[in-house]
Amino acid sequence: MRKHILVLLALALGIGFRAGAQSLTEGGQVSGSFQTDAQYYRLDEGIGINDLRGKQLGINGFGKVNYTNGDFSAGIRFEAFLPEMNGFRPELNGVGLANFFATYDNGFVGVTVGDIYDQFGSGLVFRTYEEWSLGMDNALRGARVVLRPAQGVTLKGVYGRQRFFWAPYLERDMDNDDYRGIVRGVDAEWDLNQSIPALSESQFRMSLGGSFVSKRQYDQSLFYYIPENVGAASARLNLGYGRVSFSTEYAYKINDPSAINNFIYKEGQALLASLSYSQKGFGAVLQVKRTDNMSFKSMYTGKQNDLDINFIPPINYTHTHSLPSLYTYSTQPNGEMAAQLQINYTIPKGTLLGGKYGTKLAFNMSQVNDIVRDSIMENGRMVINKPGTLGYTSNFFAISDHRFFRDINIEIDKKISKDWHLTAQYINLYYDIETIEGHAGAPVVQANIGFLDVTFKINNKQSLRLELQGLWEKEVHAGYEYEESEMKDYQKRGDWAAALLEYSINPHWSFSIADKWNYGNPVEEYRDHYFTGTVTYIHDATRVMLSAGRQSEGVVCVGGVCRTVPASSGVTLTVSTSF
């Protein structure tokens, strides 16, 4: 039935835009982009790669084309993983049309059929998105309607089934253990400043929103009664007065036993709040978060980030340099108490410390702890987190002593003269490997990291950049000694030093060489150098990058969602363009 509706809609839209195209003097416009990332792997016994497991080459590529004509737009995206590069999920292996959509939006009503990306509020109950560098795509294949009945009021409805790598969108595909449910959701938002004329120029700002999302899944479990309809709701509020802003969102989910939460029947909750103050040259923001059992997937057996319906934003600083990125935090779906404070300040130009160009300072502190869980009575016995039970009770405001992560960092950014620019950062990290990476018995790492970036402009065309990093760590073992068989976990551990030198010629060329050295690894044979050389060519919106060398084991994260990258050695080529 749904299929027929979609075909009809597509037909109607198709005819509509053909008619539209003829009535417009200019006709339609086409745009698009292409990217290919290819890696050639080679054996490198120095960093423990003794076997390529039959994989000499990994290629990830996509091409997308968008068509627009007035209020109509449509697009397709073709993807190829032949096979997928190391560190991407093997389920991606394949070629095909991964995404297509058609939209008509005249400002009052917007209709989309096909693969839908959208987000309600901050995403606590609904967010579908795509992140190429992570191989992540949870698009909803179905339909969306957006209504804007009055200025400042937006109503949305979505309906469909999520992308699950290359799994076909069948009603129920039990042969392949694929029993993804249907996701449907509604959202309403009201911005008072845009809808009430008297408030349009006011210092006071306010907007409200609310969402309801539910999934219809199929109970395939032999052990538990899985609820076949699971609903989640959220409410949000944004307030502002002049330079001060406050925003908050609260979400609630009914019982949703899953592989992630160990099949407990407890409800889920999440609260996000942030308060900020800013004026020219100064900005401060404080964020707090509490999540409890808020993993929400359209298939209850889903692992990792598979089929996530919602998005729980991690609130911590995102490091982009290679050494602090060795210890990047990723959200723990079963519960977190987190807080973050960030301050940005620019010492004005013409002062003693500000100098001729001003000096930019930034401070960030974030910490994530576990929530407190108390055992519950089940058949006369005290149990905690036992499958098939209500799991546990949790005091909303209590913070567990178990700290997952802490990051304190301070950065100074200074243009010294017309030709010299300097950025320096100090980072103090606390990182619980056992919890964050799931290696049982692994210690907590406490690291001090220093970073220095010096840029020298040779002339208007050429510049040199030197980047130096050092990581010095201390490990706290909880009375646990590692065994020989776990030595694999010891790659990347211990002290590191890194350096990078880049020479660039505007607007096309960049050449860089870099080395990372794990000189303080507790295991002597892991004290390796990771040399790489990279050449980049940019022409307008086209980028070609070729690099050769070793890549250390690590984590690549975008927006708090991460994938682990295994150590590798070889050549990487990236070609991307858009038009």
> Could you say which residues in the range 224-243 bind another protein, by CB under 8 A?
238, 240
Q: Which of residues 311-350 bind another protein (CB under 8 A)?
A: 311, 313-315, 318-321, 342-346
Cα(18)–Cα(72) distance, rounded to whole angstroms?
A: 10
Nearer to another protein, 14 or 522 (CB): 14
Shortest CB 490 distance to another protein, Å: 29
Q: Which of residues 167-196 bind another protein (CB under 8 A)?
A: 169, 191, 193-194
Judge contact between 322 and 498, C-beta under 8 A.
Answer: yes
Shortest CB 422 distance to another protein, Å: 12
Among 357, 472, 517, 531, binds another protein (CB under 8 A): 357
Q: Which of residues 358-387 bind another protein (CB under 8 A)?
A: 358, 360, 362
65 binds another protein (CB under 8 A): yes
Q: Which of residues 69-98 bind another protein (CB under 8 A)?
A: 69, 71, 73-74, 76, 97
3-class DSSP state of 14: helix
Q: Which stretch binds another protein (CB under 8 A): 99-107, 369-377, 387-395, 434-442?
A: 99-107
Residue with tokens 């911005």: 191
Shortest CB 435 distance to another protein, Å: 19
284 binds another protein (CB under 8 A): yes
Among 47, 92, 113, 562, binds another protein (CB under 8 A): 113
Binding-site size for another protein (CB under 8 A) equals 111
Among 218, 252, 277, 531, binds another protein (CB under 8 A): 277
Judge contact between 56 and 41, C-beta under 8 A.
Answer: yes
Per DSSP, the residues of 384-395 read SS-TTS---B--
Shortest CB 229 distance to another protein, Å: 25
426 binds another protein (CB under 8 A): no
Nearer to another protein, 322 or 532 (CB): 322
Among 36, 44, 61, 129, binds another protein (CB under 8 A): 129
118 binds another protein (CB under 8 A): yes
Classify the phi-psi angles of 203: left when phi > 0, otherwise alpha if psi is within -120 to 50, otherwise beta: alpha
Per DSSP, the residues of 181-234 read -EEEEEEEEEEHHHH-GGGTT-SEEEEEEEEEEEEE-----SSS---SEEEEEE
Judge contact between 38 and 573, C-beta under 8 A.
Answer: yes
156 binds another protein (CB under 8 A): no
Cα(348)–Cα(356) distance, rounded to whole angstroms?
A: 9
Nearer to another protein, 234 or 491 (CB): 234
Among 197, 198, 223, 280, binds another protein (CB under 8 A): 280
163 binds another protein (CB under 8 A): no
Classify the phi-psi angles of 323: left when phi > 0, otherwise alpha if psi is within -120 to 50, otherwise beta: alpha
Q: Which stretch binds another protein (CB under 8 A): 214-222, 284-292, 397-405, 518-526?
A: 284-292
Nearer to another protein, 57 or 208 (CB): 208
Cα(555)–Cα(564) distance, rounded to whole angstroms?
A: 4
Shortest CB 385 distance to another protein, Å: 27
Kindly compute the dihedral angle of the four CA atoms of residues 409, 557, 281, 348, in this order, to the nearest 10 degrees: 60
Shortest CB 537 distance to another protein, Å: 10
Judge contact between 339 and 306, C-beta under 8 A.
Answer: no
x-marked contacts with another protein along 504-543 as a string, rule CB under 8 A? xxxx--x-------------------------x-x-xxxx
Q: Which stretch binds another protein (CB under 8 A): 39-47, 222-230, 270-278, 563-571?
A: 270-278
Shortest CB 171 distance to another protein, Å: 11
Cα(63)–Cα(578) distance, rounded to whole angstroms?
A: 10
Q: Integer distance in angstroms from the first to the last C-alpha of the chain?
A: 38
Longest CA pairwise span in the chain (Å): 79
Among 114, 257, 333, 391, binds another protein (CB under 8 A): 114
Residue 66's alpha-carbon distances to 24, 62, 108, 177, 577, in angstroms, are 18, 13, 22, 34, 14
Cα(553)–Cα(567) distance, rounded to whole angstroms?
A: 4
Residue with tokens 């799991």: 391
- Residue 90 has phi, psi (to 5 degrees) of -60, -25
Nearer to another protein, 65 or 384 (CB): 65
Question: Strands, E, within 265-398: which ranges?
Answer: 268-279, 282-292, 335-347, 359-371, 376-378, 381-383
Strand partners of residue 367:
339, 406
Report residue 272 CA to chain centroid gap.
17
461 binds another protein (CB under 8 A): yes
Nearer to another protein, 93 or 318 (CB): 318
Q: How many CB atoms lie within 10 A of CB 500?
A: 19
Among 39, 138, 162, 207, binds another protein (CB under 8 A): 207
140 binds another protein (CB under 8 A): no
Q: Which stretch binds another protein (CB under 8 A): 10-18, 86-94, 221-229, 256-264?
A: 10-18
Considering only CA atoms, which of 246, 287, 295 is closest in space to residue 270? 295
448 binds another protein (CB under 8 A): no
